[in-house]
Amino acid sequence: MTTAPDPQPASERPDAKAPASDLLRPVRLGNAFEDTVARLLETIRLGVLAPGESLPPERVLATRLGVSRDTVREAIKSLADAGYLVSRRGRYGGTFLAEELPTPRADGIRFDRADIDDALRLREILEVGAARMAASRTLTATERETLWSRLCDVRGAAPEDYRRLDSRLHLAIAEAAGAPSLVPLVAANRMRINELLDQIPLLSLNIAHSDEQHEAIVMAILAGDGDGSAEVMAAHVWGSAALLHGFLD
């Protein structure tokens, strides 16, 4: 007498319909982690996956998103830490949507997509331009020292101090642009951006990526590389945008 083989988990079957194939499209490699988190959140928040339903395997997600399995693994871990996903080991293990999703950390504050887009577009206009202008100037020794000092501060920041020190670095870049009227505009926009960022989890891998981008921006400014500083600043802004849209839209 023969026995039927154990059923193969649905997510591992070659003929299984993987959810949200149209949503899980390739990401921009400059912000691979942030965009991967945003894609997964989009799939979750649009209700494509039911509570308790499994995600496709890491290798499938990596292929569809055009990123490494390590990036997928880190994105899944971050979303599990934030309460959106549950990872289980064993023969029928995998990554599953949590039965109950967390709510944004809002104190009665709600943001719609128009609010988010407005703040982010203004940020791109102001801060990309500020980085380019700062790189085009011959900075004084004090301005160069201030930029480097602010960079060092944010790189070593404790989680509870990160937003404040991050803001100080970006304001220092605006000051280095040499247009005094720009600084209050950047400051007001940063207040709006920080209100949005305060509603989402602080992801350690995103902070590490931001630190790398911060250093690249400051180094480009100090080297007088306007195009380079603007390019990295734009990527930096887009990384934040991906996470904000993923968590808050």
| Listed residues 97, 128, 154: the one ending a domain | 97
Q: What range defines the domain where residue 60 resides?
A: 10-97
Q: Is the pLDDT of residue 5 over 70?
A: no
Instruction: Verify that 55 and 171 share a domain, yes or no.
Output: no
Q: Which two tokens stand for residue 66?
A: 């055009």
Q: Tell me, yes or no, whether 156 lies in a domain.
A: yes
Q: Tell me, yes or no, whether 216 lies in a domain.
A: yes
| Listed residues 97, 130, 150: the one ending a domain | 97
Q: Tell me, yes or no, whether 137 lies in a domain.
A: yes
Q: What is the pLDDT of residue 111?
A: 73
| Higher pLDDT among residues 42 and 81, named by residue | 81
Q: What is the pLDDT of residue 41?
A: 87
| pLDDT-above-90 percentage for the chain | 55
Band (15; pLDDT cuts 50, 70, 90): very low
- Distance of alpha carbon 33 from alpha carbon 44, whole angstroms: 17
Which residue shows structure tokens 């790398």? 212
Instruction: Verify that 121 and 202 share a domain, yes or no.
Output: yes
State the maximum Cα–Cα separation within the chain, in Å, rounded to a whole number: 86
Q: Tell me, yes or no, whether 4 lies in a domain.
A: no
Q: What is the pLDDT of residue 237?
A: 95
Q: Rounded mean pLDDT of 89-99?
A: 83
Instruction: Verify that 150 and 240 share a domain, yes or no.
Output: yes
Q: Is the pLDDT of residue 31 over 80?
A: yes
Instruction: Verify that 87 and 157 share a domain, yes or no.
Output: no
Instruction: Verify that 198 and 231 share a domain, yes or no.
Output: yes
Q: Tell me, yes or no, whether 1 lies in a domain.
A: no
Instruction: Verify that 222 and 156 share a domain, yes or no.
Output: yes
Q: Tell me, yes or no, whether 62 lies in a domain.
A: yes
Q: Rounded mean pLDDT of 14-41?
A: 71
| Listed residues 44, 62, 97: the one ending a domain | 97
Instruction: Verify that 85 and 121 share a domain, yes or no.
Output: no
- Average pLDDT over the chain, rounded to whole? 85
CA–CA–CA angle 29, 111, 104 (5° rounding) = 75
Q: Rounded mean pLDDT of 202-229?
A: 96
Q: Rounded mean pLDDT of 29-47?
A: 84
Q: What is the pLDDT of residue 50?
A: 77
Q: How many structural domains does the chain have?
A: 2
Instruction: Verify that 16 and 132 share a domain, yes or no.
Output: no
Band (16; pLDDT cuts 50, 70, 90): very low
Instruction: Verify that 82 and 138 share a domain, yes or no.
Output: no
Task: Give pLDDT tens digits for 104-143.
Answer: 555 556 677 888 899 999 999 999 999 999 999 999 999 9
Task: Give pLDDT tens digits for 182-211.
Answer: 998 998 999 899 889 988 888 999 999 999
Q: Is the pLDDT of residue 249 over 60?
A: yes
Q: Tell me, yes or no, whether 3 lies in a domain.
A: no
Q: What is the pLDDT of residue 109?
A: 61
Instruction: Verify that 201 and 160 share a domain, yes or no.
Output: yes
Q: Which residues, 6 or more positions from 230, have their beta carbon under 8 angstroms from its beta carbon?
A: 128, 129, 131, 132, 135
Instruction: Verify that 194 and 230 share a domain, yes or no.
Output: yes
Q: Rounded mean pLDDT of 18-37?
A: 75
- CATH code, 81: 1.10.10.10
Instruction: Verify that 84 and 149 share a domain, yes or no.
Output: no
